[in-house]
């Protein structure tokens, strides 16, 4: 009984979101959208719910991050593109600020069904901390900055909908920690990945020492971190660091295109069910099996009274595609 009460407390914050999801746009398997098209002027952003207008990162410092709410058949998919070509997408104060704002917008938007985190810079996902900016910081500034970066990556990991990291280039240090916070990682075969902080006489400070062992096992994680080893996409897939490793294409966005395919597989499913499944898995992995099963039971209870569940049964009976509205 105590365990179930704990699970109910765990679900309290989520229940308000799951209970009032807005109707979603029609979803389908539209044509491929390469990154160049997605962030072109022809692709209009979807307005986030509860906002007078979508955020635009299109000039000056705001150009460091571009967020696109896809529309049409891909409505419900959000693409978060890092865009600091001169700094190899290194994590700066400004990038942390912009990403924190974007994650907060996404978290509040019940129309969002999946999120893809990617790079708009060829050959780079994220090179980690901006060491040039770090070198100019006073020692007293370093701790607070790392705390903000850690909080950002934690919030990314806590988003209620599926998140996919599309790694089409180097993901080093904090860049790999950002990808590790996502539910699923997809890389190109030639992408380079590693937690290389030991080379600088520091340790991963944004979750790397915790998430990497959970992804590939304790012993292998220690080996990679102690050696500051960098692996390619094919090796990362073998280790379980990424779920899929794909052959890179001429436009350099093969991992993104595979991530988009995966997001399109997620989109037609019941959105409340997907969020509850993610919550059950994430929380259940941190506890013993008996407690995890109780968490699953509590999450299952949340989907029983939904209109989507009834729609699923009706669609099955009528042999048609269900039309889920997140209600």
Q: Are 131 and 247 in contact (CB under 8 A)?
A: no
> How many other β-carbons are positioned within 10 Å of the β-carbon of residue 221?
21
pLDDT at 21 over 70: no
Among 125-139, 222-236, 277-291, the least confident range = 125-139
Length of the chain: 327
Distance CA 71, CA 6 (A): 39
Rg, C-alpha atoms of the chain: 20
Is the pLDDT score of 123 beyond 80? yes
Output the pLDDT for position 315.
Answer: 84
pLDDT at 29: 36
Is the distance from CB of 19 to CB of 11 less than 8 angstroms? no
DSSP conformation class of 52: S
Task: Find all residues with CB under 8 Å of 28, minimum gap 6, and list them.
Answer: 73, 268
pTM: 0.82
Q: How far apart are CA 307 and CA 324, in angstroms?
A: 8
Residues 297 and 207 reside in one and the same domain? no
Instruction: Check whether residue 98 and residue 141 sit in a common domain.
Output: yes
Domain containing residue 244: 28-266
Asked, for residue 181, whether it belongs to a domain, the answer is: yes
Q: Is the pLDDT of residue 175 over 80?
A: yes
Does residue 3 sit in the same domain as residue 79?
Answer: no
Residue with tokens 């966005």: 253
- Judge whether residue 184 has pLDDT over 50: yes
Residue 31 banded pLDDT, cuts 50, 70, 90: very low
Instruction: Tell whether 164 is covered by a domain.
Output: yes
What is the domain count for the chain? 2
260 and 297, same domain (yes or no): no
Task: Catalogue the active-site residues.
Answer: 129, 174, 177, 197
Name 208's Cβ contacts closer than 8 Å, sequence gap at least 6.
173, 176, 177, 180, 195, 197, 225
Tokens (6 digits) for 233: 């996409």
Say whether both 305 and 186 belong to one domain: no
Mean pLDDT of the chain: 83
pLDDT of residue 308: 84
Q: Answer yes or no: do 307 and 191 share one domain.
A: no
Let me know whether 259 and 213 are in one domain.
yes
The DSSP code for 88 is: T
Residue 12's CATH number = 1.10.12
Q: Residue 35: is its pLDDT beyond 50?
A: yes
Least confident segment among 87-96, 168-177, 240-249: 87-96
Looking at the fold, whether 22 and 37 belong to one and the same domain comes out as no
- 100 lies in the same domain as 247: yes
């Amino acid at each position: 009984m105590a365990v179930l009460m704990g699970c109910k407390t765990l679900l309290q914050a989520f229940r308000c979101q799951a209970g009032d999801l807005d109707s979603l746009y029609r979803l389908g398997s539209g044509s491929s959208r390469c990154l160049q098209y997605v962030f072109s002027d022809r692709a209009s952003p979807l307005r986030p719910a509860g906002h007078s207008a979508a955020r635009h990162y299109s000039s000056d410092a705001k150009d460091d991050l571009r967020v696109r709410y896809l529309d049409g058949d891909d409505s419900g998919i959000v693409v978060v593109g890092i865009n600091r070509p001169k700094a190899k997408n290194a994590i700066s104060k400004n990038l942390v600020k912009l990403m924190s704002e974007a994650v907060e917008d996404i978290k509040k938007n019940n129309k969002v069904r999946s999120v893809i985190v990617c790079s708009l810079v060829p050959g780079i996902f994220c090179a980690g901390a901006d060491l040039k900016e770090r070198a100019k910081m006073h020692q007293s500034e370093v701790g607070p900055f790392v705390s903000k970066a850690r909080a950002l990556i934690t919030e990314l990991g806590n988003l209620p909908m599926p998140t996919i990291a599309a790694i089409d280039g180097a993901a080093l240090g904090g860049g790999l920690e950002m990808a590790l916070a996502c539910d699923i990682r997809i890389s190109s075969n030639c992408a380079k990945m590693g937690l290389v902080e030991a080379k600088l006489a520091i340790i991963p400070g944004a979750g790397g020492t915790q998430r990497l062992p959970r992804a590939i096992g304790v012993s292998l994680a220690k080996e990679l971190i102690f050696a500051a080893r960098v692996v390619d996409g094919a090796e990362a897939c073998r280790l379980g660091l990424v779920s899929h490793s794909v052959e890179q294409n001429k436009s350099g966005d093969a991992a993104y295109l595979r991530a988009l395919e995966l997001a399109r597989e997620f989109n037609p499913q019941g959105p409340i069910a997907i969020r509850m499944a993610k919550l059950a898995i994430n929380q259940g992995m941190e506890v013993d099996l008996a407690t995890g099963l109780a968490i699953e039971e509590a999450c299952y209870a949340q989907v029983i009274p939904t209109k989507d569940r009834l729609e699923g049964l009706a669609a099955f009976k009528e042999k048609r595609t269900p039309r889920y509205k997140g209600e």
